[in-house]
Structure 1
Amino acid sequence: MLNQTPIWKYLLVFFVLAMCGLYALPNLYGEDHAVQITSGRNTEVSATLVPAVEASLTAANITTKSVEFKDQQVIVRLLDSDTQLLARENLERKFGEDYGVAMNLVPDTPEWLEALNASPMKLGLDLRGGVHFLIEVDMKSAIDTAFEDIIGTFRTQLREEKIRYRSVRQVGEEIEITFRDPEVLEKAQFFLRRGYADMVFNERDDLTLRAVFTEAKLADIRDKAVKQNITIIRGRVNQLGVAEPLVQKQGAERIVVQLPGIQDPAKAKEILSTTATLELRMVDELNDVRDAVNGRVPARSQLLYTAAGRPVLLEKQIMLTGNHISDASNSVDENGFPQVNISLDSEGGSKMSNGTKDKIGKVMATVFIEYKATEERDANGKLVFKKEMEVINTATIQARLGNSFRITGIDSAKEARNLAELLRAGALIAPIQIVEERTVGPSLGKENIELGYTAILYGLAAVLVFMLIYYRAFGIVANLALVANVIMIVGVISLIPGATLTLPGMAGIVLTVGMAVDANVLIFERIREEIRDGRSPQQAIHFGYDNAFSTILDANITTFIAGMILFAIGTGPIKGFSVTLMIGIATSMFTAIVLTRVLVNLIWGGRRVKSLAI
């Protein structure tokens, strides 16, 4: 008998619809206004902070829906935006010095759905509201950092090769290496040219060797500065609890950051603008730190202080910068004392090995460097940054170090954990400056959502009415499949990590609603043709679906390819449109061909039918 569906296909369709419906369900619960408390640089959020937060809000007569510790942060859910603002101000006064306090919107998903990893769709900036930043990387600082790094390497390698030099210093956009006689200069020139293909060396008449980076190397330094800053910014954005942030490169020196749902631009700006790096340097043990405190600092040393105000005299030469650290973790040593385990990349491991082979038993310091913007601007109108340095750790080198080593002598497990997190976060190669800031209010986002939903509902209703009138009973089947298709789109977007719904994405859903019935129109018209050619109802259904399949497949594949191209070369809103378009094509193929065939077979298949209501 024609048009009978096997049991496994019924089960497959039921399973797919059930799963998509389940993961679409969280979108019905909406979001709560919230204030979240995250870890600070020297403090860590734990569940023990919850009672203090509750007590502070209760004393201020602020009513909350809940206060919970989740995902390494305390989340305070409030009743409305006015209460949210009051709670933020109260918590900022109480905990702002030690922790990060920011306003946000958090999903109100029931716990049983969260246990299944079900969450609502991630909404883009245009739908949810939030903050848009355009950040510019200070390339001059990036290049200066590269110069400092290579100068230290030159000094170390020239000493190892027993090539005596008078000085190695940066002068403008070049490095000048001065020697005492021509023979030594010629030997150094031969050695350096062989080892540094990405630099150009020129000899001068005054026994000075001039070294500059090649254009290719400068371009590589700039590109790495942007890429590494993007990585660090993404880590900082996680402190804000943004569900689906956008952090991407724009042009040669700029980064776009979009934070949907963030309602506290000042806090977001503060976290993003903080520019920090790390250096490993040797402690100057040959000179007295007390003399340095009194103003007599040796020429090759630098006086710095710890957070507690203890002076530490360091050598100016940098052994290693934080951008060579690939991983860091805290643990305990064989005596039960806290330590931090460091892993370096290949270049960093080589530098560490050469730099510490003669320094066993000496003290090494970890220096935290932060660039803070001043009110001054340079000739190009860019902000001038002030460099602040602080010693966060000193430890004795126990053995020659390589790609992996450990930092000991740390006071507490908490300090070890904080240091490991700081090292894991990496180091910004260059300071950053926010050159553009836009805030999209939640009311505008809410209006966009309402207009988008209205467009989808009107489009869906129009299509449903047309199909019902024109195809009668088969129109009902197509309408059921169309509603299922919309639910599947929402479920798949909610399920896919990284998928974000934007306003153009909602336009993609509206387009998909129309495209979804295209397949059914082709199938139903083909069934009508088969009936007009004299075939029985069962044969008309069978050949209608079979003969229309290739046409439907070809049309959808070409549209899907167009969506892939849009996704590959497009940015921002275009990507959002292409994602929903491709998802809609995939789901409409399933509902229009598989689901409607199952429903048609269930109603008319395997039985004697004299006529079809089509």
Structure 2
Amino acid sequence: MKTYPKNYGYSASNRTSKWQYLIIAVALIFMALSALPNFFPKKQRLLIHSNGAEKAAIQASELYTQLADANLPVNAINSTEQGSELYFANLSDAKKAYERLVQVYGDEYTIMKSEKSGIPQWLVELGLEPIKLGLDLRGGVLFILDVDGDKAFSDRIVHIRDSVKSITRDNKIRDVNVAIANKEQVVVNIYQPQNLQKVAAEIQNRFPLLSMFYESDTQLKLFYAAAAKNSFHQEIMSQSLSTMRGRIEELGITEAVVQRQGRDRIRIELPGASNPDDVRPIIGATASLQFFQLQERGGKYFKTESGESIAVSPVPIFSGKHIKNAKAGRDEMGMPLVHLTLDAIGGDKMLRFSARNIGKPMVTVFSEYYQNTSGETLKKEKVISVATIQAQLGSRFSITHLSSPEKAQELALLLRAGSLDAPITIAKERTINATLGEKNIENGMAALTLGIGVTLLFMIAWYRQLGVIANVALSFNLLCLLGLMSLLPGAVLTLPGIAGFVLTVGMAVDTNVLIFERIKEELKRGRAVSIAVEQGYKNAFATILDANITTLLTALILYAIGYGPVKGFAITLGLGVLTSMFTGVFISKVLTRLFYTNSNSRREKGVMA
């Protein structure tokens, strides 16, 4: 009988160290916890309570009878003195039950649809949440907004002209002519060269990106170069995106998607929103606020609500972009007002201005853009307040003399969410029914289940023991992908995202197929099982890495240039590449060593003994 070394076919390089087991175990437990909230679906709920104290709550038995008569199943009914809660298996049943109960009890009871999270409290306390569903899966409202950057640029040119006039007036410079040429240039004529240079220096300080060209000692042209104009456009788009995100947060919609689409458009997805009329006035509002110094003549003229014309300084003291917070309220006489809180820059401007102008009026001008019947974008401006500065003001003060509490609330909301420098119009609006989203989820999950099922059967039939290992690694792969998507705050699952899950299954299997085929080649060459396994993983790694890096680059490009469903697919694809590498190479290798290498090595020893 031949004897073989104790470590026949097995060396130190084949062993998996304890710290590797620990890292894999910790990663899988963490991913499993992150994915767990997705297995507790939201409960569809109806809330019913009486409109008056004299009406008693509806008995649960009566509600069961009403729904049973309409063949509508209900999971549970919880009744209290204040009202009843009805729970349903799906959104479709809840919607039909809502229509039925409104028809029967709508005159005397208030009936509301809502969702209740099914996640256990201990998961909530850990800060874990399920994957956010996109518009095509959950239903909701889609807005496509056009940002008129050209109009904003034209307004900037006008603002530069007014600033030049203000500087010359403050410095008491005479014989000045300031005009706009070709809608993109400000031409300044000052017949004293030293004064022209003085004005140029101050303008350059206020507008650093502005280019200057001296036509002569007495004429100066102010304009934006191509790069500076592009930078201005980028700034306008960034400000518009930031403002839209702020407005949506004010509406309490936490799962919205706000992103740039193309050069001049913004895409807003509001999953779960059912009525576009509730959000359209805030999304499409182009309101802004400016504060001016009143002057006797010259400057800008505005109309008050009474129709009177008043003149103000052409350059505002500060604008709505310096407002940090706004809150509606009432003064001592019960009149509506808005309390404002300014940022550091706005507070400093107000402090210096009010200190010099105590006892003088300050004018608050509300402006917004609108489109006329010809489709032209116009700006409407009106004076909403003329108040005397009673004392030195800082970063906190109030706008008074507002027409109604409702106007004060609306103005406060818009100011909190931020003003816009560029006109915005709603180019496209679409409402996606929630039941359609449910159908998409059902179809998508059916496709995913079918793809996984066929893949699992093929791997077991073709690779037997190695196929079982591949299937276990594949299950871990899907678990890790689900956990990662739940952790990322910007990740949203869309219908193409479900397709990304199916594609991830294919990539994970492809990884295992490459490895297993290499292992089979090594075994055909007469290598011991342990050596064949190590060589198979080693030789296949370079090919797997190249293929996955290429796919990851594709996902990054799709994420960078795509939007909506395309971006959702790119996120799933990119994360799927990472999880496939982790599970297909590392976890699969550990499992192969544990269950395939050891068992077959023992069998080899027995045969050769």
TM-score normalized by structure 2? 0.72
Other structure's SS at 2:395 match: strand
Deviation at 1:476, TM superposition (A): 1.2
- For residue 343 of structure 1, what is the aligned residue in structure 2? 343
Q: Is 1:369 the counterpart of 2:380 in the alignment?
A: no
Other structure's SS at 1:263 match: coil
Deviation at 1:9, TM superposition (A): 2.6
Q: Is 1:578 the counterpart of 2:570 in the alignment?
A: yes
The partner residue of 2:39 within 13, 28, 31 is: 28
- For residue 331 of structure 2, what is the aligned residue in structure 1? none
The partner residue of 1:359 within 342, 357, 360 is: 357
Paired amino acid for 2:593: N
Assess, with a 3 A threshold, how the Cα gap between structure 1 residues 103 and 6 changes in structure 2: closer, same or farther.
same
Deviation at 1:202, TM superposition (A): 9.2
The answer to whether the 8 Å contact 1:176/1:211 transfers is: yes
The answer to whether the 8 Å contact 2:284/2:426 transfers is: yes
Assess, with a 3 A threshold, how the Cα gap between structure 1 residues 17 and 600 changes in structure 2: closer, same or farther.
same
Q: Is 1:527 the counterpart of 2:525 in the alignment?
A: no
Deviation at 1:312, TM superposition (A): 12
Structure-1 separation of matches of 2:572 and 2:424 = 34
Other structure's SS at 1:527 match: helix
Other structure's SS at 1:463 match: helix
Paired amino acid for 1:359: N
Deviation at 1:442, TM superposition (A): 2.0
- For residue 98 of structure 1, what is the aligned residue in structure 2? none
Q: Is 1:568 the counterpart of 2:560 in the alignment?
A: yes
- For residue 407 of structure 1, what is the aligned residue in structure 2? 396
Structure-2 separation of matches of 1:202 and 1:65 = 80
Deviation at 1:593, TM superposition (A): 2.0
Other structure's SS at 1:377 match: coil
TM-score normalized by structure 1? 0.72
- For residue 319 of structure 1, what is the aligned residue in structure 2? 316
Assess, with a 3 A threshold, how the Cα gap between structure 1 residues 167 and 354 changes in structure 2: closer, same or farther.
farther
The answer to whether the 8 Å contact 2:355/2:391 transfers is: no
Assess, with a 3 A threshold, how the Cα gap between structure 1 residues 169 and 433 changes in structure 2: closer, same or farther.
same
Assess, with a 3 A threshold, how the Cα gap between structure 1 residues 392 and 183 changes in structure 2: closer, same or farther.
closer
Assess, with a 3 A threshold, how the Cα gap between structure 1 residues 419 and 448 changes in structure 2: closer, same or farther.
closer
The partner residue of 1:269 within 252, 260, 280 is: 280
The answer to whether the 8 Å contact 1:396/1:408 transfers is: no
Structure-2 separation of matches of 1:351 and 1:459 = 64
Other structure's SS at 1:497 match: coil
Paired amino acid for 1:81: K
For 1:414-452, what per-residue CA distance to the aligned partner results, in whole angstroms no more than 9, with x for missing partners? 999999876553311133221221222223222222222
- For residue 385 of structure 2, what is the aligned residue in structure 1? 391
Assess, with a 3 A threshold, how the Cα gap between structure 1 residues 183 and 577 changes in structure 2: closer, same or farther.
closer
The answer to whether the 8 Å contact 1:174/1:210 transfers is: no
The equivalences for 1:26-105 within 5 A come to: 26-32=37-43, 56=51, 80-81=94-95
Paired amino acid for 2:342: I
Deviation at 1:585, TM superposition (A): 1.4
Paired amino acid for 1:13: I
The answer to whether the 8 Å contact 2:211/2:222 transfers is: yes
For 1:181-223, what per-residue CA distance to the aligned partner results, in whole angstroms no more than 9, with x for missing partners? x745x5554444454463678999xx9x897744646655544
- For residue 595 of structure 2, what is the aligned residue in structure 1? 603
State how many pairs are aligned: 537
For 1:100-131, what per-residue CA distance to the aligned partner results, in whole angstroms no more than 9, with x for missing partners? xx988675433322222221212222222222
The equivalences for 1:294-305 within 5 A come to: 302=302, 304=304
Structure-2 separation of matches of 1:66 and 1:151 = 67
The partner residue of 1:551 within 533, 543, 562 is: 543
- For residue 493 of structure 2, what is the aligned residue in structure 1? 501
Structure-2 separation of matches of 1:65 and 1:384 = 55
Assess, with a 3 A threshold, how the Cα gap between structure 1 residues 260 and 312 changes in structure 2: closer, same or farther.
same
The partner residue of 1:233 within 244, 248, 253 is: 244
Assess, with a 3 A threshold, how the Cα gap between structure 1 residues 586 and 314 changes in structure 2: closer, same or farther.
same
Unaligned runs of 5+ in 1: 36-49, 68-75, 95-101, 287-296, 331-337, 400-404
Q: Which moved more, 1:435-444 or 1:145-154?
A: 145-154
Aligned residues: percent identity? 34
The answer to whether the 8 Å contact 1:103/1:262 transfers is: no
The partner residue of 2:143 within 133, 137, 153 is: 133
The answer to whether the 8 Å contact 1:482/1:517 transfers is: yes
Structure-1 separation of matches of 2:542 and 2:356 = 74
The partner residue of 2:160 within 150, 153, 156 is: 150
For 1:1-57, what per-residue CA distance to the aligned partner results, in whole angstroms no more than 9, with x for missing partners? 53443333333222222222222222223335689xxxxxxxxxxxxxx9xx96659
Unaligned runs of 5+ in 2: 1-6, 64-75, 80-84, 89-93, 205-209, 328-337
Deviation at 1:165, TM superposition (A): 5.7
Structure-2 separation of matches of 1:219 and 1:472 = 61
Structure-1 separation of matches of 2:564 and 2:357 = 52
The answer to whether the 8 Å contact 1:325/1:424 transfers is: no
Q: Is 1:280 the counterpart of 2:291 in the alignment?
A: yes
Deviation at 1:557, TM superposition (A): 2.5
Assess, with a 3 A threshold, how the Cα gap between structure 1 residues 172 and 389 changes in structure 2: closer, same or farther.
farther
The answer to whether the 8 Å contact 1:364/1:397 transfers is: no
Deviation at 1:229, TM superposition (A): 1.9
Q: Which moved more, 1:571-580 or 1:54-63?
A: 54-63
The answer to whether the 8 Å contact 2:146/2:266 transfers is: yes
Other structure's SS at 1:553 match: helix
The answer to whether the 8 Å contact 1:283/1:315 transfers is: yes
Deviation at 1:301, TM superposition (A): 6.4
The answer to whether the 8 Å contact 2:255/2:270 transfers is: yes
Other structure's SS at 1:262 match: coil
